[in-house]
Amino acid sequence: MAEMQIQHQEDHNHIPNNPNNPNPNPNPTHYTHYRFPGKVPHHQRHHMDKATPSRFKPNAPKREHCICITVFLLLLGIILLILWLAYHPTKPRFTVASAAVYGLNATTPPLISISLQFNVVIRNPNRRVSIYFDRLSAYVSYRNQPITPHVMLPPLFLDKHSAVSLSPEIGGVPVPVSVEVTNGLVMDESYGVVDVKLVLYGRLRWKAGEINSAHYGLYVKCDVLMGLKKGIVGQVPLLGSPVCDVNT
């Protein structure tokens, strides 16, 4: 009986082919064939490698480019550090060697007319760097007020480890000042001691070999204490060593 049921079930599932039916099997079974990478033939795998770009290959040139830039910047920084240590310039030194006064007059309304001459020595302490001085000017002040007009000085060049001397004549033209300045100068002259300030300012450039630097500002203040008595004209003694403060 069981064999008959199995046979009946097989006969029920079997559908005879109909020559007039274009689709002899109404419920065909479709199979999808998958190819695994390990099963690809060797000759086809070679063409697939050429046709399919790797996701890592385009990044290789960028990585090499970044490494080259990093190495270049590192070497450039080392070279600049060596040059800076070898050629790092020291600012110039200014010294007032002597002073002369050729006239001091105070009038009203408060005007001061004073004529002075200073011998200024400028030294370049650098052994590898020269200095250009451009657009130098000078004036004299008293109690933080100018008592002479500004005077233009000629351009200067200081070679490596050298010195130069300047003797600018400053003043001779009446300058309006405050009453405090007029009274202070007259009183100091009567005591025989006058404290003035020589100011030089302009721009400088450093020169190392064939390389010239950009312009840097220069501002120099020299405190000069002079022995001055009324009626004395010419060179006057300097009381103490004038101190010059140099800012670049």
Could you read off the pLDDT of 130-150 as tens digits, one per residue? 999 998 999 999 999 999 999
The CA–CA distances, whole Å, from 145 to 114, 138, 169, 181, 222 equal 14, 14, 19, 8, 14
pLDDT above 70 as % of the chain = 74
* Predicted pLDDT of residue 52: 53
Q: Residue 233 and residue 77: Cα distance in Å, rounded?
A: 59
C-beta neighbour count of 142 within 10 angstroms:
21
For residue 50, what pLDDT is reported?
53
Phi, psi for residue 68 in degrees, rounded to 5 = -65, -45
Q: What is the DSSP letter of 108?
A: T
pLDDT, residue 99, reads 97
The reported pLDDT for the residue numbered 212 is 84
pLDDT(66) > 90: no
Percent of the chain at pLDDT > 90 equals 50
Domains of the chain by residue range: 37-87, 93-247
**Predicted local distance difference test score (pLDDT) of residue 243:** 86
The burial class, CB within 10 Å (0-12 / 13-18 / 19+), for 39 is exposed
Full-model pTM: 0.68
Domain 93-247 sits in CATH at: 2.60.40
Query: Residue 1: what pLDDT?
Result: 46
pLDDT digits (tens, 9 = 90+) for 157-210: 999 999 999 999 999 999 999 999 999 998 999 999 999 999 999 999 998 888
Mean pLDDT taken over the chain: 82
